[in-house]
Structure 1
């Protein structure tokens, strides 16, 4: 059978993503910081929002720099996006054996030690050039040159090779989105001391992640920013820090009622019989569960039905949840799990706080079983 199955018809739970909101958030953060250049972080399938769609949307408004975590993520973008006049930065450690792929796909790896560069030049085909970004570990403790001398020797090695081209120098902040100002200042001081000591021009620098762009724009060189979470409309410092700007909501999560019935006094729902009706009440079953990324710990979370608040009752299961109802609703009634319905709204920050985590984990946890619809 070759007939294509309509996934939403067979299991109506879905994520809606607004590419125009992503574009507007990019404009907002650029205007707020005064930055001239933006590196859009689209790793992990653009934080779950869809990397290819996000790249296309941001390209439309002039963004030409993107960042991912892996060679495979970058290759998918190169294969599925028809235009190619944009740069892709590879964040994190990359195996030097993939240099041929990096050259072929025009990828710029973050490089943090001299030995990697020395091995890479032996693998770069004759007549080809590998664009690299110098990663400086000022205090994140994951990867990168760890002293002024290391920064200087790597920079000089890149400059001396006709197979390497420097296109960026950056660091990543550990406390930009929380209240540890002293540690942040320590990282900033290290970066400036080391790049100045190595005589690296500031046109290559990009320090500002989302937290820095929002709360530290006066403290660092802001010409080029490297942001992810703010593009997708959520607060990277939630719940500790308030946003200094208003961003557009990008994501909504919705489902439809699949089954409705009335619980009688003493009757329970879901595994463990953890919820028992104290009076007759209507409940509904929705086709979404922890296999979709609606986490098991979301029992008790708010949902919106016809513009008013209901709650998840009983345990969240792999494929289904049960919600309370104030009255009987028809099967196929839409239920909002994240998003706005009438005057009520459930934000991804609220969802994450209830789950005792951060919005980044929530959006990247939503599985491929939830179709992404781009309006």
Structure 2
């Protein structure tokens, strides 16, 4: 009997290849973004691999994510940038391995007055993204405050969010002017390129590229670099095969209500919408024994697939084999598709 029929297999070699390739191609250090459970891949697997390979800097969205990484006890030299404001100064003081994002002038002054070391602060500049950050219109006040107190900070960054190429160039230019007015030597890290920005722009001023998707070999629609390698594989084994004629129901559905008129066999796998494998996957394709088969039904804990007599219990199955096709079929982007995959699905490291 198959116990855990579906798992996420993570290719360590592909992960490390992507980091090394990006650093060499862009001549910058990589700041890997591991928020949202490392984009669904499994932060408890991804971060230890990267740390062991020499990576010390990571970025997450929330404090709880940084807290979970610190509980791994990887080493005292790890540094984690938290994008969202924390504001609890006592909490910040008690977690020296966390770099805090400064998202307003008020927050900046509050942290300095509370005795937080500037070497743990990364200033976020907002050029109209509307999420958070010190307004670019406050650049003069920011410069005067830093120079007056003679501060040297951990970093300064922005988000290269623009879809329009010329708008992106303008953000890079304005960001560069702000950093140069303060002094590049006052910042250990300077970064503004997300994954799309890495594909689209070269930023001379940046010391780091801040990448999530590209770390895992996943690429935005409209961009493609053949040198990047996909890290995850959603795969496993067939948990059982049943003859359709011997059942009136398939799970909770009346068999005749399903679009399986010529199907003689249904294979079951142990993944469902309770694992983040949504009902939107119905009628999409999976690969069994190098052949495509159609998914008939997705329940909370199981998925049923239309198969032929060649498929047996224990046979290998691949889901999301071509992630770009799945994105188009389901109508969700890669971010949504992967980050909803539940921790209930085992993550395994492939060496």
Same fold (TM over 0.5): yes
Conservation of the 8 A alpha-carbon contact between 1:110 and 1:133: yes
Q: Following the alignment from structure 1 to structure 2, what is the Cα–Cα distance between the partners of residues 159 and 347?
A: 52
The structure 2 residue matched to 1:318, chosen from 287, 292, 300, is: 300
Give the structure 1 partner of residue 8 of structure 2.
15
Summarize deviations over 1:137-178 as a string: whole Å, max 9, x none.
113211111124x2343344345558x751111111223xx5
Conservation of the 8 A alpha-carbon contact between 1:102 and 1:130: no
Cα-Cα RMSD: 2.7
Could you tell me how far 1:33 is from its partner in structure 2? 1.2
Secondary structure, counterpart of 2:134 in structure 1: coil
Give the structure 2 partner of residue 282 of structure 1.
265
Q: Following the alignment from structure 2 to structure 1, what is the Cα–Cα distance between the partners of residues 38 and 68?
A: 12
The structure 1 residue matched to 2:57, chosen from 65, 75, 81, is: 65
Q: Following the alignment from structure 2 to structure 1, what is the Cα–Cα distance between the partners of residues 6 and 244?
A: 24
Conservation of the 8 A alpha-carbon contact between 2:8 and 2:235: yes
Give the structure 1 partner of residue 70 of structure 2.
78
| 2:123 is equivalent to residue 142 of structure 1 | no
Could you tell me how far 1:369 is from its partner in structure 2? 0.9
Residues 112 and 101 of structure 1, relative CA distance in 2, 3 Å threshold? closer
| 2:30 is equivalent to residue 42 of structure 1 | no
Q: What residue ranges of structure 2 are gaps of 5+ in the alignment?
A: none
Which aligned pairs between 1:1-375 and structure 2 lie closer than 5 A? 10-35=3-28, 37-92=29-84, 94-101=85-92, 103-124=94-115, 131-148=120-137, 150-158=138-146, 160-161=148-149, 165-175=152-162, 180-201=164-185, 204-217=189-202, 220-235=204-219, 237-238=220-221, 241-264=222-245, 269=250, 271=252, 273=254, 274-314=257-297, 316-338=298-320, 346-375=321-350
User: Could you state the TM-score of these two structures normalised by the residue count of structure 1?
Assistant: 0.83
Q: Following the alignment from structure 2 to structure 1, what is the Cα–Cα distance between the partners of residues 199 and 90?
A: 35
Q: Following the alignment from structure 2 to structure 1, what is the Cα–Cα distance between the partners of residues 204 and 7?
A: 40
Summarize deviations over 1:98-117 as a string: whole Å, max 9, x none.
45335533211111212112
**Count of matched residue positions in the alignment of Structure 1 and Structure 2:** 347
Q: Following the alignment from structure 1 to structure 2, what is the Cα–Cα distance between the partners of residues 229 and 283?
A: 35
Secondary structure, counterpart of 2:88 in structure 1: helix
Q: What residue ranges of structure 1 are gaps of 5+ in the alignment?
A: 1-7, 339-345
Q: Following the alignment from structure 2 to structure 1, what is the Cα–Cα distance between the partners of residues 9 and 92?
A: 33
Could you tell me how far 1:96 is from its partner in structure 2? 1.0
Q: Following the alignment from structure 1 to structure 2, what is the Cα–Cα distance between the partners of residues 172 and 280?
A: 50
Secondary structure, counterpart of 2:126 in structure 1: coil
Larger CA deviation: 55-64 vs 166-175: 55-64
**More contact order relative to length (CA 8 Å, sep ≥ 6):** 2
Conservation of the 8 A alpha-carbon contact between 2:263 and 2:307: no
Secondary structure, counterpart of 1:140 in structure 2: coil
Q: Following the alignment from structure 2 to structure 1, what is the Cα–Cα distance between the partners of residues 294 and 48?
A: 37
Q: Following the alignment from structure 1 to structure 2, what is the Cα–Cα distance between the partners of residues 367 and 59?
A: 24
Q: Following the alignment from structure 1 to structure 2, what is the Cα–Cα distance between the partners of residues 155 and 67?
A: 25
Could you tell me how far 1:135 is from its partner in structure 2? 0.2
